[in-house]
Structure 1
Amino acid sequence: MESDAHRAGLLSCASWRTSSYSTGLQNCVEVNTSASEYVGVRDSKLGADSPVLVLDRSGMRALLFRVKSGQCDRLAT
């Protein structure tokens, strides 16, 4: 039950940040790492109206690995 509360808190929290690499770009994401067990990811263009992808920390590491290694490049085409 505690993890559900952490997830809910993540969705309503104001601790969203955009990467410094995103300056001036239109296709950016924001992340929220304020919950100890989870990371929230949302579309920066939509802000608070964006759907939020909530991943546990290991899931976020796996996603970042796949993105950095180019395994997700085909999804953008």
Structure 2
Amino acid sequence: MSALPRHVPSSTALHGVRWQRSSHSTGANNCVETARPAAGPWAGLIAVRDSKAPDGPALLFSPGSWAAFTAAAHGL
């Protein structure tokens, strides 16, 4: 990965984002959710949080780092 992820202590700090679940989610809240903040200091990054803890922390990745991670995970 080209950059280290950034940490947001509470995903509620990411105002106005629309969280999306994986299409592979079974609805049992055992997946991750992603969002793309459009404004503020996190604009242009990919936010990732645990669906079981929607008010919990989120990690922020550059689009390139997230793409590399998901490509590597897809190859497992």
TM-score (norm 2): 0.65
Q: Deviations over 1:33-66 (max 9, x none)?
A: 243521100000111x221010011011011012
CA drift at 1:12: 2.4
Q: Which structure: larger Rg?
A: 1
Residue 14 of structure 2 corresponds to residue 11 of structure 1: yes
TM-score (norm 1): 0.64
Tell me the distance in 2 between the aligned counterparts of 1:43 and 1:65: 20
CA drift at 1:14: 3.6
Unaligned runs of 5+ residues in structure 2 are 1-7
1:44 to 51, 55, 70: 51
Tell me the distance in 1 between the aligned counterparts of 2:19 and 2:68: 21
Residue 34 of structure 2 corresponds to residue 28 of structure 1: no
**How many aligned positions are there?**
61
The amino acid that maps onto 2:23 is S
2:67 to 44, 56, 61: 61
